[in-house]
């Protein structure tokens, strides 16, 4: 039997099971400005839930509140099954470091999804194929280099100063792990936070920015993802408003075959 | 000094302060199929946070996970300030009844919002004026009769059976308290869950339905709402997918003057 080399993403989101308290460690491979990439933190929390012995069903919703920057090093996850119903579960997870204050607070819903009437009113955005687009150049943040971003629309331009009229905050792009990895709920969770700050797109400049609260809904269960059998998503993101230091983002993650896999929304702080 | 008659909404969302445990009681005036209207529950949780002596700033985000139906009668709210930063706060609230299991689990972010670059890319949907539209007829659920819904587009039709081709899940409507009440964060929170189930719109029939998780972002603070000085919102809602017994909803709540006050998203169970 061959031991597969684990993917960096699986390393970065690894957790060690405890009774109710689980352990993990930040990864230098998924680092953002001053803390771990929020998508990696969210995926780590989701992994703890998926590996939990009491887990039943597939992830349906995850909300992550980023209370304070996570510091480099070890962290604890306090995982609690708040309420279990016949076919759904409600979880709460708190991330702390060294017994200190809560750095990340999350709630999640898992469900055993049953066959039903199916209908997808949202239009598949479509795009130039992945292979025909160029990869977005490497960035200083290590997390961004773990992904192969290929913009079909709205590639960010950083002129270093805000234009007179704000640019569109919309973007459409392929997102794949730089080292291909079969798409699962964990990578969907991480990719749902992998859009660049909408304020960067609108203003053509990097400004202080941080996600405050992120919510992702999963519209495909493990069986659906197995059927899709893909390593990438076609993703769109946009913003509706920037006001008094906070702005929103909403996004969609699609399989190449045109199935809506996940929707996501976040509210983020910015200084501009 | 005159004592103002309290609005039914203020009665329904009233809470009594405790140390960390607060008390409230469900209201027959805001009742849904088998439990209180989720928007009323969400507003009650928000009220406890807003009245909390440690509260600083305005609500920015509230996520409510509906774990189990709330029964008629008294409930307790376990309110916890999870983390306070210089200008933001992270809260967690658990609703229980009679010392039992958690019925509702919520997290919220409050922030003291600072002047910044402002930009609203989202287009104000516009609509026929409130006064020129007819009120949606009264319904069996008491909560719905507390609101004056006036549809500009996508008024639900209940033929009692699903059409061959699903109808649009989109609707645009005015929402006002039936007895006018100045719009505040509490009513915005409640109204953000006041859309009818998207599945009813798509299928022209009432099917078993329940919100599982709801997230609302506030894009206006108390000062902004004071400036708007309105008793109604123009609201839009739509769905992107229905699959394996769960469907999504996303919505916008606008002031009549064209300011985006709140955005909301939810994932809901349905049986069809």
* CATH code at position A94: 2.40.160.210
Tell me if B8 sits within 8 A of B112, measured CB to CB.
no
CB < 8 Å to A113, chain B: 243-246
My answer on whether B157 and B272 are in the same domain is yes
Indicate whether B192 belongs to any domain.
yes
Amino acid B18: pLDDT: 82
Amino acid B269: pLDDT: 98
Distance CA B194, CA B203 (A): 19
Give the HSE-up count for residue A10: Cα atoms under 13 Å, Cβ half-sphere. 11
B116 and A242 in contact by Cβ < 8 A? yes
Asked which of B73, B97, B112 is the last residue of a domain, the reply is: B112
CB count in 10 Å sphere of residue B111: 23
My answer on whether B149 and B210 are in the same domain is yes
My answer on whether B26 and B92 are in the same domain is yes
The band of B61, judged by pLDDT with boundaries at 50, 70 and 90, is: very high
Mean pLDDT of A55-76: 98
Asked which of B112, B130, B151 is the last residue of a domain, the reply is: B112
Q: Is A242 on the interface with B (CB under 8 A)?
A: yes
CB < 8 Å to A114, chain B: 244-245
- Residue window 122-161, chain B: list those with CB within 8 Å of chain A: 122
Question: Which of A3-7, B36-40, B135-139, B185-189 is least confident?
Answer: A3-7
Distance CA A108, CA A50 (A): 11
The Cα-based distances of A59 to A108, A111, B65, B77 in angstroms read: 7, 6, 14, 26
Q: Is residue A130 pLDDT above 70, yes or no?
A: yes
My answer on whether B85 and B149 are in the same domain is no
- Output the CA torsion A120→A121→A127→A129 (10° steps): 20
Amino acid A131: pLDDT: 97
Q: Is residue A101 pLDDT above 90, yes or no?
A: yes
Indicate whether B73 belongs to any domain.
yes
Amino acid B5: pLDDT: 64
CB < 8 Å to A270, chain B: 116
Indicate whether B167 belongs to any domain.
yes
**What digits encode the pLDDT tens for the residues B69-99?**
999 999 999 999 999 999 999 999 999 999 9
**Structural domain tally of chain A?**
2
CB < 8 Å to A121, chain B: 166, 168-169, 202, 238-241
Q: Is residue A2 pLDDT above 60, yes or no?
A: no
Q: Is residue A255 pLDDT above 70, yes or no?
A: yes
My answer on whether B89 and B156 are in the same domain is no
Mean pLDDT of B107-114: 98
**What digits encode the pLDDT tens for the residues B139-153?**
889 999 999 999 999
Mean pLDDT of A50-65: 97
Q: Is this complex's ipTM strictly greater than 0.90?
A: yes
My answer on whether A73 and A45 are in the same domain is yes
Q: Is A81 on the interface with B (CB under 8 A)?
A: no
CB < 8 Å to A57, chain B: none
Mean pLDDT of A107-126: 98
CB < 8 Å to B243, chain A: 113, 116, 118-120, 219-220, 224
Asked which of A79, A112, A145 is the last residue of a domain, the reply is: A112
Residue of A nearest to B90 (CA): A67
Mean pLDDT of B231-243: 98
My answer on whether B272 and B186 are in the same domain is yes
Q: Report the residue of A245, A250, A251, A264 to disrupt the B interface, i.e. the one with the largest count of B CBs within 10 Å.
A: A245
My answer on whether B193 and B154 are in the same domain is yes
B94 and A117 in contact by Cβ < 8 A? no
Amino acid B158: pLDDT: 82
Q: Is B267 on the interface with A (CB under 8 A)?
A: yes
Q: Is residue B35 pLDDT above 80, yes or no?
A: yes
Per the structure, the complete domain to which residue B224 belongs is given by 143-272
Amino acid A212: pLDDT: 98
Mean pLDDT of A200-227: 97
| pLDDT above 90: percentage of residues in chain B | 92
| pLDDT above 70: percentage of residues in chain B | 98
Q: Is residue A1 pLDDT above 60, yes or no?
A: no
Indicate whether B5 belongs to any domain.
no
Q: Is B4 on the interface with A (CB under 8 A)?
A: no
Indicate whether A73 belongs to any domain.
yes
The Cα-based distances of B167 to B100, B171, B251 in angstroms read: 41, 11, 18
Q: Is residue A5 pLDDT above 70, yes or no?
A: no
Indicate whether B130 belongs to any domain.
no
Distance CA A60, CA B250 (A): 16
Q: Report the residue of B168, B241, B260 to disrupt the A interface, i.e. the one with the largest count of A CBs within 10 Å.
A: B241
Which residues does residue A225 pair with via DSSP β-bridges, in sequence order?
none
My answer on whether B165 and B86 are in the same domain is no
The band of A137, judged by pLDDT with boundaries at 50, 70 and 90, is: very high
Vertex B179, ends B174 and B182: CA angle to 5°? 70
- Residue window 22-61, chain A: list those with CB within 8 Å of chain B: 60-61
Amino acid B178: pLDDT: 96
A61 and B213 in contact by Cβ < 8 A? yes
CB count in 10 Å sphere of residue B257: 11
The band of B1, judged by pLDDT with boundaries at 50, 70 and 90, is: very low
Quote the mean pLDDT of chain B: 95
Q: Is residue A3 pLDDT above 60, yes or no?
A: no
Q: How far is A238 from chain B (nearest CA, A)?
A: 9
Mean pLDDT of A180-200: 97
Mean pLDDT of A245-257: 98
Q: Is residue B184 pLDDT above 80, yes or no?
A: yes
My answer on whether A264 and A138 are in the same domain is yes
My answer on whether B150 and B258 are in the same domain is yes
- The set of residues, in sequence order, having a beta carbon less than 8 Å from that of B91 and lying 6+ positions away, is B49, B79, B80, B81, B82, B106, B107, B108, B109, B110
A241 and B119 in contact by Cβ < 8 A? yes
Indicate whether B1 belongs to any domain.
no
Q: Is residue B40 pLDDT above 50, yes or no?
A: yes
Mean pLDDT of B208-237: 98
Q: How far is A58 from chain B (nearest CA, A)?
A: 12
Distance CA B66, CA B159 (A): 29
């Amino acid at each position: 039997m061959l031991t597969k080399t684990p993917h960096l993403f699986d390393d970065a989101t690894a957790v060690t099971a405890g009774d109710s308290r689980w352990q993990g460690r930040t990864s230098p491979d998924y680092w953002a400005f001053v803390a771990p990439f929020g998508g990696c933190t969210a995926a780590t929390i989701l992994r703890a839930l998926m590996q939990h012995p009491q887990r039943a069903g597939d992830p349906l919703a995850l909300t992550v509140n980023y209370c304070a920057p996570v510091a480099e090093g070890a962290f604890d996850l306090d995982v609690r099954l708040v309420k279990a119903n016949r076919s759904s579960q409600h979880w709460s997870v708190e991330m702390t470091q060294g017994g200190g204050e809560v750095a990340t607070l999350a709630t999640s819903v898992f469900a055993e999804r049953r066959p039903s009437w199916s209908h997808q009113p949202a239009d598949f955005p479509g795009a130039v194929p992945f292979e025909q687009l160029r990869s977005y150049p490497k960035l200083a943040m290590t997390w961004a280099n773990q992904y192969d971003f290929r913009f079909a629309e709205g590639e960010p331009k950083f002129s270093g100063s805000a234009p007179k009229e704000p640019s569109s905050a919309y973007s459409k792009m392929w997102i794949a792990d730089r080292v291909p990895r079969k798409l699962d709920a964990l990578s969907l969770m991480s990719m749902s936070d992998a859009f660049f700050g909408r304020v960067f797109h609108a203003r053509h400049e990097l400004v202080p920015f941080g996600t405050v609260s992120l919510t992702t809904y999963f519209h495909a269960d493990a069986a659906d993802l197995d059927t899709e059998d893909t390593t990438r998503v076609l993703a769109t993101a946009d913003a509706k408003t920037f006001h008094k230091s906070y702005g929103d983002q909403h996004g969609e993650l699609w399989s190449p075959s045109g199935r809506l896999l996940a929707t996501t929304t976040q509210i983020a702080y910015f200084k501009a």
